[in-house]
Structure 1
């Protein structure tokens, strides 16, 4: 059953020779250190960061003996966000698809000779996160029970059987910020109250023209469905400008489509930074904003993590898993808005939009007036 399990994807079988090579590769005799596998996005990293601070005590090691294996997407932030820890960033997509890259990374992990390998990601992929834990061949391999579907149950069954300990952090849709501390409680055997998500960050002035208070508009997202319609961002921008606030539009090159419409606002209070900010500079801009308005994507969670007043626009695909934050860990200056529908928890398999380029109705349905009222309340609290 272990050698020839049923229900595995073709790609899993393609990578079996790598498992064999890694298993045979010599590793240091003395096992030491902790590997923390974090194959997730920027927002997930923000929510995990507070829990990581307790790992040295939980495992009885120094920070320098803990290696965080993360993603290239947040590598530029590592020095500021993870002081004292060792961070190794990889291309998680290449690891899941490219044979030679996968072999290179798996061997790198194997050769470290970790004593412990840990992964507490609930929403994860077996061929990335679980494979890396298994490749470590650490003496202790500790993972949480993942989100399992009919399609993934065979692979998860195989990998979970290879773990030395599996910790149940709660049913779907328990929030990730709570799961991390449930995992810690199980590790330590002591009560670990969940903490507000936060990341350490420098206090550098933002790379912006001098001027008055500004509101950041983060209108992009890797998933088009999670984007609040750009026309509504423009309407919100007009409210801000009329109230005497500057408006800073942020985004990567993929958001270049918005430049003509931003220019058409024709207002001295508009600042277009699309494609011009490096990730650390973006965080500086978020940190010093009077308010950040964001789709449910990495920069929105970064804004919350550095303590900025933030209005985050949430859809219902897996409502409660990542947003909104539960009241027990919601920063006082974070507001989550959503448009409730009876089809919540569709896992983003939405049949109610005309094309894949359209916003999900549960996102588009959030009114401009509601967002403006939230912004006004954060910028000018009564």
Structure 2
């Protein structure tokens, strides 16, 4: 039995992908402590094999100097009492390693851009790469595709009883975290609104999913207000968001945290990508389809793991039409169950008629 410490504060998607890797790495008898931020702690608590150690990340990264010192000292006191076989800091930024200075561990590792063995290589899925780094596996050819780790403990669905044959969850905002906005990853809100209009016209239910910082998007959907449009933006905890996805038939999202929360449920997924590479971030589950816009753009993908190009208009995402998204929703319902994940380019989908 080993004792493992993982340091990964966020963001949501990064933590979900790391959980899948840690589950594949750790044995059932191993103890896994996870130093995390407040935002993701309720999600990690849904996994009984993870012990969250919650840090005040706002104090560490945005607080005053005294607040920062107090919080780091508190973490040091907690961690100095424990001994680990492995301490894995899943960051390149050396500042995170300050938090584990007093940790007694037989082995310590961190991400390192100068060392291929400890670098997440572009074009590869992050869960697979984190597993390779944790295990020290050689970088040989393999067919490993790590599925998302579904949480064992979730609350009941927060959604009302169904009043329609199909329930669709959409994520029209997101793409931000405590350290930066990443708005280039967003599919334009007006396209989400048009897609919602078409879904409601079919007599389907649409659930709006988002966090407290996503309220800016709600006025765009106000003209579509009706009993079949269920707005949960800003009202759900992370575990409740997962439960809401699990109580839906299909989820539509660009590359943002809730996409990965949908990925840890059985819901069908249509994911919309542009500046980021779906090979690195798409949940590797069944009945998951990505549309990767911008197949004719030489700048795609422009995300280098930290920053985006200084782009003022995400043409890559704008060229994905509501008709394309709707077509893939229909394909997921019309095809055989248990379809493997796939990545489609717009040139495969152009000519799809609009409704």
Counterpart in 1 of 2:250?
A: 291
Matched, 1:207 2:158: yes
How many Å apart are 1:217 and its aligned residue?
1.2
Q: Deviations over 1:303-346 (max 9, x none)?
A: 011121111112224x2563345xxxx32211111212211243
Larger helix fraction of residues: 1
8 Å Cα contact 1:218-1:251 kept in structure 2: yes
Distance change >3 Å, CA 177–CA 78, structure 1 → 2: closer
Counterpart in 1 of 2:50?
A: 85
Q: Deviations over 1:56-107 (max 9, x none)?
A: 43xxx833x3212222221112232x21332212233533452332232233
8 Å Cα contact 2:25-2:131 kept in structure 1: no
8 Å Cα contact 1:310-1:333 kept in structure 2: yes
Matched, 1:73 2:23: no
* Aligned equivalents of 1:380, 1:194: Cα separation in 2: 25
8 Å Cα contact 1:133-1:141 kept in structure 2: no
Determine which structure has more spread, i.e. the larger CA radius of gyration. Answer: 1
* Aligned equivalents of 2:242, 2:19: Cα separation in 1: 16
* Aligned equivalents of 1:100, 1:176: Cα separation in 2: 33
How many Å apart are 1:293 and its aligned residue?
0.7
Out of 218, 221, 226, the position equivalent to 1:259 is 218
* Aligned equivalents of 1:62, 1:324: Cα separation in 2: 30
The size of the alignment, in residue pairs, is: 316
Out of 207, 215, 228, the position equivalent to 1:269 is 228
8 Å Cα contact 1:72-1:91 kept in structure 2: yes
Matched, 1:364 2:353: no
Counterpart in 2 of 1:322?
A: 280
Q: Deviations over 1:111-149 (max 9, x none)?
A: 323343123x3x642212x333444242321334x346x
Counterpart in 1 of 2:302?
A: 346
Distance change >3 Å, CA 207–CA 39, structure 1 → 2: closer
Distance change >3 Å, CA 124–CA 289, structure 1 → 2: farther
8 Å Cα contact 1:117-1:142 kept in structure 2: yes
Using structure 2 for the length normalisation, give the TM-score. Answer: 0.78
Out of 18, 34, 37, the position equivalent to 1:48 is 18
Counterpart in 2 of 1:217?
A: 170
Counterpart in 2 of 1:381?
A: 335
Distance change >3 Å, CA 373–CA 320, structure 1 → 2: closer
Matched, 1:139 2:93: no
Counterpart in 1 of 2:266?
A: 307
Q: Deviations over 1:178-203 (max 9, x none)?
A: 21332354269998944212322447
* Aligned equivalents of 1:192, 1:109: Cα separation in 2: 37
Counterpart in 2 of 1:4?
A: none
Distance change >3 Å, CA 54–CA 264, structure 1 → 2: closer
* Aligned equivalents of 1:188, 1:35: Cα separation in 2: 22
Counterpart in 1 of 2:352?
A: none
* Aligned equivalents of 2:85, 2:134: Cα separation in 1: 18
Q: Deviations over 1:207-230 (max 9, x none)?
A: 222222210111112132222111
Distance change >3 Å, CA 39–CA 265, structure 1 → 2: same
Counterpart in 2 of 1:250?
A: 209
Counterpart in 2 of 1:195?
A: 146
* Aligned equivalents of 1:236, 1:334: Cα separation in 2: 18
**Which has the higher mean CA deviation after the structures are superposed, 173-182 or 241-250?**
173-182
8 Å Cα contact 2:85-2:107 kept in structure 1: yes
User: Secondary structure at 1:208's aligned position in 2?
Assistant: coil
How many Å apart are 1:366 and its aligned residue?
1.8
Alignment gaps of 5+ in structure 2: 63-67, 177-181, 337-355
* Aligned equivalents of 1:199, 1:66: Cα separation in 2: 16
Distance change >3 Å, CA 77–CA 343, structure 1 → 2: same
Out of 161, 164, 175, the position equivalent to 2:125 is 175
